Structure 1
Amino acid sequence: MSTPAKQRRRLSAAVAVILIVAALIGAGVPIYVRPQIDPLRRADAILVLGGEGVDRYQYGLTLAREGYAPYVLFSNPYGENTDIDEVREPCHTPQRGFTLECFAPDPSTTVGEGRELRRLASERGWRTVIVVTMRPHLSRARYILERCFAGQLVMEPSNENLTPWYWAWSYLYQTAGYARAFIDRGC
């Protein structure tokens, strides 16, 4: 049988856990839910980051068709033989009005994408790049890509509809990714 003192301690511990979780969720809102989004403007290239959700690839192509950049880069961490049509088909279809290049980042992370961006920007003199990724990834992508690319980044969210469960997963995944990026510090 629990004593009133034990019950109060349990209740206090439960309230503390709830408050900590609420604080963490609240702290993540400006980072994951309402990240800094830059005004869309013309750029030297559009970089579509890889990962779950494929709406971003079509959106990158739409931006190019609307004249925002003459080059589009598709990061394809799934490899050349991907079965994801939204990635595979455009990479094997000639585009009109812009150049589309597809690459597999090495490593298969945002750091690998940043390294490829740095290499291509250096070769081609790019100074401004539009980066398309899903909203919860925007802040972390900016944090990593700014270490790799000395030019201006225009961060643009794709229009993927994320379920509440995916938002919860994104909080955990992106937070772990931030910790890894902070420790790694490299590009």
Structure 2
Amino acid sequence: MTATRQFRPGFVVASSAVLLLAAGVVAGLPLYVFPVSDDIDHVDVVVVLGPIDQERLWTAEWLIDHGRADALVLSVPPDGSSVTVDGRDYCASTKLCFIASPSTTRGEVSAVEGIARREGWTDIAYVTGTAHVSRARWIAMSCSTRSVAVVEARENRNPAEWLWSYVYQTAGFLKAAVVGCLDD
């Protein structure tokens, strides 16, 4: 007599959910955890995408200090508050700060496109956090007429923050695909 093994529907659903989650995590690794960061020789301007933090600013300043960019542009919060890191007000210096409308990556790229047209910039590097690099690149390359590079400012995140990044960035990709670019 042979015994047949029956699977319970709950086990099948739970196993499928775990496999789907694992597949999503693996698929997201090259997009969110280990994105391609462009290596730039020289650009006209480096733009720090929001939210601005110490790592993003340091990465942008390194590019300028090493002759890889001529100017620094910062995307500031919608309330217009200045960017202060380590007691230094970055918008009070000679750097250009702007408020994106809407306050999204798409809005930032659109605003930078207008500034670049006014300033005569043709080569732009965007600096953003690790999880945002791939989506920022996709939006910038889709919505800009300029030569675009995206540089990673390495982020240290805990597992809960990585999970949130996966969800947030995936939703952002879907939104960008549906909404498209802003008209200038």
Q: TM-score range by the shorter chain?
A: 0.7 to 0.9
Matched position secondary structure for 2:106 = helix
**What are the residue-to-residue correspondences of 1:107-118 with 2, within 5 Å?**
107-118=102-113
For 2:24, the equivalent position in structure 1 comes to 24
**What are the residue-to-residue correspondences of 1:1-187 with 2, within 5 Å?**
5=6, 8-51=8-51, 53-82=53-82, 85-86=84-85, 89-94=89-94, 100-187=95-182
TM (normalized to structure 2)?
0.87
Question: In structure 2, how many angstroms separate the alpha carbons of the residues matched to 1:141 and 1:14?
Answer: 34
Question: In structure 1, how many angstroms separate the alpha carbons of the residues matched to 2:34 and 2:107?
Answer: 25
Letter in 2 for 1:183: V
1:118-175 superposed Cα distances (whole Å, 9 cap, x missing partner)? 1122222222111100011011111111122122212111133222211111000000
Q: Would the aligned equivalents of 1:56 and 1:160 in 2 still touch at CA under 8 Å?
A: no
Q: How far off is 1:71 after superposition?
A: 1.1
Question: In structure 2, how many angstroms separate the alpha carbons of the residues matched to 1:35 and 1:55?
Answer: 16
TM (normalized to structure 1)?
0.86
Question: In structure 2, how many angstroms separate the alpha carbons of the residues matched to 1:173 and 1:13?
Answer: 25
User: Larger strand proportion, structure 1 or 2?
Assistant: 2
Question: In structure 1, how many angstroms separate the alpha carbons of the residues matched to 2:100 and 2:112?
Answer: 10
Question: In structure 1, how many angstroms separate the alpha carbons of the residues matched to 2:17 and 2:170?
Answer: 18
Task: Indicate the larger mover: 142-151 or 126-135.
Answer: 142-151
Matched position secondary structure for 1:72 = strand
Unmatched runs of 5 consecutive residues or more in structure 2: none
Matched position secondary structure for 1:70 = strand
Q: How far off is 1:52 after superposition?
A: 6.3
Question: In structure 1, how many angstroms separate the alpha carbons of the residues matched to 2:143 and 2:49?
Answer: 14
Question: In structure 1, how many angstroms separate the alpha carbons of the residues matched to 2:159 and 2:26?
Answer: 15
> How many residue pairs end up in the alignment?
177
Q: How far off is 1:58 after superposition?
A: 2.8
Q: Would the aligned equivalents of 1:77 and 1:109 in 2 still touch at CA under 8 Å?
A: no
Letter in 2 for 1:181: A
Runs of 4 or more consecutive aligned structure 1 residues displaced over 4 Å after TM superposition: none
Alpha-carbon RMSD across the aligned residues, in angstroms, is 2.0
